[in-house]
Each structure stands twice: as C-alpha cells, then as structure tokens.
Amino acid sequence: MAEKGSNIELNRGKYPLFLIPQVVKDEIDKHKDKIRSLHIKRTGGHSFRVMTTVVSDGEEKDE
C-alpha cells in the first residue's frame, strides 16, 4: 500500500509516434488531477515509452 500523497510511477509501455496523442489523452482521462508528470522518451526507431507519475490516494492499484 502506498502512503497517501506519495508518488507512483506507472510505465505505460512502448508506442509508435502516431499513437502518442491518444495515449496521453487516455492517461489524462484516467488519472485526471492526480497526474504529477508525464514523460515521453524515444526508445529507438519510431517507438516511444510513456511514463506517468501520479499522486497516491493511499491505495496502490496494479495497472
């Protein structure tokens, strides 16, 4: 169980460039105002890794 108010980093996986806008939209829709940061890093070729940091509400969820 994560402590309330602590940060949880979620690794959303690798995506091609054309899907990044949809992945970002989905993350915002899913976590709303709990998002602390959202990082997009190029991993090679046309693939990008999406990592989201959210503020914990006291319950850790598997995603």
pTM of the model: 0.72
Q: What is the pLDDT of residues 23-58, one digit of tens each?
A: 999 999 999 899 999 999 999 888 999 999 999 876
| pLDDT on residue 11 | 80
pLDDT at 26 (0 to 100): 93
Contact 34, 8 (CB under 8 A): no
Alpha-carbon span 9 to 20, nearest angstrom: 18
Task: Report, in angstroms and rounded to the nearest whole number, the Rg of the chain calculated over CA atoms.
Answer: 12
* pLDDT at site 62: 47
- Say how far apart CA 51 and CA 28 lie, in whole Å: 12
Q: Is residue 9 classed as helix, strand or coil in its secondary structure? A: strand
Higher pLDDT, 51 or 12: 51
